Amino acid sequence: MPALLRRLGAAAALLWLVVTLTFLLVRAAPGDPAALLLPPTADAADEARLRASLGLDRPVAVQYARWVGATLRGDLGTSFAQGRPVATILAEALPPTLALGGASLALSYLLGVALGTLQAVLRARGDRRGRAADDALTVVSTAAYAAPSFWVALGAIALFTAGASRWGFPAALRLPAFGAADPAGQLAGWAAFADRVRHAILPVSVLALVGAAGVARYARTAVADALAGDFVRTARAKGLAPGAVFGRHALAVALPPLVVLLALSLPGVVAGSVFVESVFAWPGMGRAMVQAISARDYPVILGATVLYAALTIGANLAADLVLPRLDPRRR
């Protein structure tokens, strides 16, 4: 219990440090939200009244104290640009992002772990053909992992949307590129569900492609290290079947680092799709964050930062607590 309390205290202190630095950096960034909201015909008096209504006429220390106090009470403030509660804006943007990020994360791990395990098994065979196949898959996965997500997104749009008619793709491969649903909003029932799935195919595929390439690199290393262990050779020498050796021994050792990677990837469900959401005009957290930064909408930026930081720190804390249960050597 004392160790848990220490970890919770350290997590709370880290969260406070992150949001405090974000508050100071946002205030130090160039640009004035009042100037962006005022019409060209406004005079100095209009600007002074707007700054007073937004609370920007107070010293930075006073603004920080008021914001921290309101946040601790569960009040994230009101958006400068939209005039709506920040909690409402985040609550509207969070479900589309969770759907997009959750689907892409699940697909990333299914493909990445399978690919990384295949590479490790091919390398463990020790023959020339296995090493050549492993090297080829490593090159492909490294290139996919290094490719910027927005570049992959633009390429997917060019291929499956803009170029689909030019190259005579079948109708099933002509995918919508922007938004999360039909803008006309006239579909209902299963037709509306199918339309949302079609709109999600490209952004989910782009995120899953990049994510699976990264997971495959970790899975390959973890499984290869496990297969090279003395305990695996001992199990094989005792005559255990290959499936039992892999599932009961190698996979048990390779699982903890993959669980840690999964915990570290969970915040990316919310925060990791900023560029992809912007390219595909997906109405989620990433797009809301970009719009808030462009408008110098301090309350929305800080509210999203609190959410991102809490998820990241919470995921790390959860990994620290779960890992000893998976790996007895860490207890």
Determine the topology of domain 95-285 in CATH. MetI-like fold (1.10.3720)
- CA-based torsion, 247, 248, 249, 255: positive or negative: positive
Span 222-250, pLDDT tens digits = 888 777 777 767 766 776 666 666 666 66
What's the CA gap between 296 and 81, in Å, rounded?
A: 8
pTM: 0.77
Please tell me the predicted confidence (pLDDT) of residue 331: 54
pLDDT at 202: 87
**pLDDT of the residue at 249:** 64
DSSP of 66-78: HHHHHHHTT---B
Q: How confident is the model at residue 151, as a pLDDT?
A: 84
Domain ranges in the chain? 95-285
Angstrom distance (rounded) from CA 31 to CA 279 = 25
Give the pLDDT confidence score for residue 88 in this predicted structure: 92
Which residue stretches of the chain have pLDDT < 70? 1, 162-166, 168, 171-172, 184-187, 232, 235-236, 239-250, 271-272, 323-331
Token pair of 222 as six digits: 């973890």
Residue 116: what pLDDT?
A: 87
**Residue 137 · residue 119 · CB < 8 Å:** yes
| pLDDT for 85 | 92
